[in-house]
Amino acid sequence: MKSLSVVRSGLWLGVALSLAVGLLFYFATSKSIESDSQERFVNHARNAQNTIRARIKSYTDVLRGAASLFSTSDPLTGPQFHAYVTGLSMERHFPAIETINFAQYVREADRPAFEKGQRAVLEAKGEPASSFQIFPAGRRADYAVIVFGEPEATHWKRTLGLDILAVGQATPVLTRSRDNGTLITSGRPIAAISKPMRAGLGMRLPIYRRGMPTNNVQERRAAYLGTLGIAFSVPKLVQGVLDEMPVGDVRLTLIDNGPGFDSSIPDHALGGRVLFDSDHAEGAASANRARAGRFTTTLPIDFSGRTWHATFNTGKDELYTGFDAYFPWLAMVAGFVSTMLLYALFHTLSSSRHRAIKMAKGMTRELRDSQAKLQLSHQNLRRLAAHAENIKEGERKRIAREIHDDLGQNLLALRIEADMLASRTRNHHPRLHARAHWTLLQIDVTIKSVRQIINDLRPNVLDLGLNAAVDWQVADFRRRTGIACELVENDHDIRVSDHVATALFRILQESLSNILRHAQASKVRVELRMDGERIAMTVNDNGVGLLASRRHKRASFGLVGIEERINILGGTFAIISGAGDGTTIAVSLPVGDDIGANPAGSFDQPAHEQVDAF
């Protein structure tokens, strides 16, 4: 009963631990998916931001291009202005522009002559001269009267004769623009083309008489001809950009935070004036409110010196794919199952350890009863160890061969395809080329790793003979560590059995590894010689030496493994060392009677072909 209770307690502990890990996987995966979706949404918003900037710049270029018209004709006539604007094809190329107009600067003393001239223009066009009047009515020192307005639609035609200096706070703004020669932007929506949350704005540029200097304020005032402006619809400017975003249900709120917005308007609660709200049915008060389950990002847009803030808002489900909804649950299940399996494995190993201890005690009692059985068991274990060693080396050969033949060739094919893709996309798809080039580099790193794994399992150079294998190992050690390593041979064509060659090679590997980790040596000498029917190998270093008390250090099996290999093959093993005198490892093995036989499990093709295959 007690054992059953312990098992149940362990089971519930494993379930609780696995559930905790599964929940951790769930939340980590959900957070990763959300972060990735947020980043993609911000990238889409930045693309839209750049498109809006480009459109604003194009409208500024239209204004400056129209201003250059006045430098080609003096004076500029209405038909010339009309022909130029018609050639712009605004409805097709600049759909957000509502009108382009020119307001001529007139002093009070010049007003009668100016009105007479404008009425004469109307009479020449067959229109009643009385239709031209400067409004608002009244006498002022200066006027800026609209004389050209395109397109000639009815509601824009009514603006002819409008004195824009008499509108709102336009006088100081236009005066500053005239004196500085700079473009100005509208901080107040134009009532004729504006609706709640859907504003229309304007830009104006001072025009000076051709050929007159404009180097300072006095010269600019003397040369001042008037002001050229455009009015455009913010909804038309941004709605197309919003429609082109690859994300559905995006709400865009555009707020003017530039200087001079009218804080008496209710929009001041948002920190500026709302120019556009694609979801205006909810009202301006919700323009910056981040709703639950939605992504929100705010980006700045420069409008000729004024700062707009574009807030993009969309539901998270618009960025999620169908798989994203299930992936966190799959991650949780995977975490739960894998943790449960690891816990079960740990529990099984722990139980097996206790059972093994009990079994060992029983075996000890039996072995004490019979020394002969102990000796026989020892011999059987020796033969089993030798057999296991042979199997291990054979498996290393087989695994190395399969990795080389299957994985290696597949990686080669994959690299060829990736290289072709990188070559074809180099001049046409730079972003795809960058990804393809990165993939090619990763494939090269993988190929290098596979080569190293094959060499670690069983270096192909062993198939070329013991001399070549030892020479390669010494050269590789010298290259990797920078330690001077000398190889001395009395026979350059030593032919031994495959088991002996493999054992000597592994012993050399282990010896050089120990020198690198512990000896602090600057010079190593490896000697390989044939002595009748035996082959001897000596590895000597000038390091710190090895004390006898440390040769059988707990949890250190390097020297034990070397000695066991030698015993299995019927050889001898010796260590000569002292503190500060360096260490010498000497081994001697019988050559064997299968010289020249093809090593079991070796590759069918020559070693050099295997190395160069990929």
Decide which of 1.10.3720.10, 3.30.450.350, 3.30.460.20, 3.40.50.720 is the CATH code for 56-240. 3.30.450.350
Residue 294 CA, chain-centre distance (Å), reads: 24
* DSSP string of 151-181, one letter each residue: S--HHHHTTTTBBGGGSTTHHHHHHHHHHHT
- Of 299, 407, 292, nearest in space to 43 by CA: 299
What long-range pairs does 207-214 form, CB within 8 A, spacing at least 24? 207/67, 207/70, 207/102, 208/181, 209/74, 210/70, 210/71, 210/72, 210/74, 211/74, 214/181
Neighbouring residues of 423: CB distance < 8 A, sequence distance ≥ 6: none
The residue to which tokens 């609660």 are assigned: 269
- The pLDDT value recorded for residue 607 is 36
- The pLDDT value recorded for residue 613 is 42
The verdict on domain 461-590 having CATH code 3.30.565.10 is yes
Query: If DSSP states are collapsed to H, E and C, what string results for 404-436?
Result: HHHHHHHHHHHHHHHHHHHHHHCCCCHHHHHHH
CATH 3.30.565.10 residue window(s) in the chain: 461-590
Judged against a pLDDT cut of 50, whether residue 595 lies above it is answered with no
Judged against a pLDDT cut of 60, whether residue 195 lies above it is answered with yes
Q: Whole-model pTM?
A: 0.53
Judged against a pLDDT cut of 80, whether residue 361 lies above it is answered with yes
Instruction: Say if CB 588 and CB 536 are below 8 A apart.
Output: yes
| Backbone dihedral angles phi then psi of residue 160, each to the nearest 5 degrees | -60, 130
> What is the residue-averaged pLDDT of the chain?
81
Helix or strand or coil: residue 134?
coil
pLDDT tens-digit map of 91-100: 888 999 989 9
CATH 3.30.450.350 residue window(s) in the chain: 56-240
- The pLDDT value recorded for residue 141 is 92
Stretch 352-365: mean pLDDT, rounded? 82
* DSSP string of 451-517, one letter each residue: HHHHHHH--GGGGG-HHHHHHHHHHHHHHHH--EEEEEES-SS----HHHHHHHHHHHHHHHHHIII
Helix or strand or coil: residue 606?
coil
Stretch 52-79: mean pLDDT, rounded? 89
Whole-number Å distance between alpha carbons of 267 and 396: 76
Judged against a pLDDT cut of 90, whether residue 447 lies above it is answered with no
Whole-number Å distance between alpha carbons of 310 and 366: 86
Stronger pLDDT, 119 or 11, i.e. the higher one: 119
281 pLDDT tier (thresholds 50, 70, 90): very low
Judged against a pLDDT cut of 90, whether residue 106 lies above it is answered with yes
Instruction: Say if CB 61 and CB 88 are below 8 A apart.
Output: no
Neighbouring residues of 78: CB distance < 8 A, sequence distance ≥ 6: 121, 147, 148
Backbone dihedral region of 170: left (phi > 0), alpha (psi from -120 to 50 degrees) or beta?
A: alpha
- The pLDDT value recorded for residue 559 is 67
pLDDT tens-digit map of 221-237: 999 999 999 999 999 98
| Amino acid identity, position 364 | T
282 pLDDT tier (thresholds 50, 70, 90): very low
220 pLDDT tier (thresholds 50, 70, 90): very high
Whole-number Å distance between alpha carbons of 500 and 477: 21
- The pLDDT value recorded for residue 558 is 58
Whole-number Å distance between alpha carbons of 428 and 440: 18
Four-CA torsion 516, 519, 522, 524, nearest 10 degrees:
-80
Ranked by mean pLDDT, the top range of 142-151, 418-427, 449-458, 566-575 is: 142-151
- How many other C-beta atoms can be found within 10 angstroms of the C-beta atom of residue 23? 13
pLDDT tens-digit map of 160-191: 889 998 887 788 889 999 999 999 987 788 87
Helix or strand or coil: residue 315?
strand
- The pLDDT value recorded for residue 386 is 62
What are the distances in angstroms from CA 583 to CA 115, 294, 512, 557, 577?
114, 70, 11, 17, 4
What are the distances in angstroms from CA 402 to CA 454, 459, 482?
10, 14, 33
Whole-number Å distance between alpha carbons of 65 and 59: 10
Query: If DSSP states are collapsed to H, E and C, what string results for 263-311?
Result: CCCHHHHHCCEEEEECCHHHCHHHCCCCCCCEEEEEEEEEECCEEEEEE
Whole-number Å distance between alpha carbons of 428 and 435: 13
- Of 467, 446, 449, 445, nearest in space to 457 by CA: 449
Judged against a pLDDT cut of 60, whether residue 267 lies above it is answered with no
Whole-number Å distance between alpha carbons of 292 and 282: 16
Judged against a pLDDT cut of 80, whether residue 574 lies above it is answered with yes
Helix or strand or coil: residue 143?
strand
Helix or strand or coil: residue 386?
helix
Stretch 3-15: mean pLDDT, rounded? 70
608 pLDDT tier (thresholds 50, 70, 90): very low
- The pLDDT value recorded for residue 62 is 93
462 pLDDT tier (thresholds 50, 70, 90): confident
Stretch 352-368: mean pLDDT, rounded? 81
What are the distances in angstroms from CA 110 to CA 78, 128, 208, 511?
20, 22, 17, 107
The residue to which tokens 């290259």 are assigned: 479
C-alpha atoms less than 13 angstroms from C-alpha of 471 in its C-beta half-sphere = 12
Indicate the helix (H) or strand (E) that contains 314: strand 306-315
- The pLDDT value recorded for residue 5 is 63
**Strand 484-489 relative to strand 523-531, pairing:** parallel
Sheet holding 250-256, edge to edge: 273-277, 250-256, 306-315, 294-303
Whole-number Å distance between alpha carbons of 122 and 508: 108
| Amino acid identity, position 486 | E
**Which value, in Å, is the radius of gyration of the alpha carbons in the chain?**
44
- Of 137, 134, 132, nearest in space to 110 by CA: 134
pLDDT tens-digit map of 71-93: 887 788 888 898 889 898 988 88
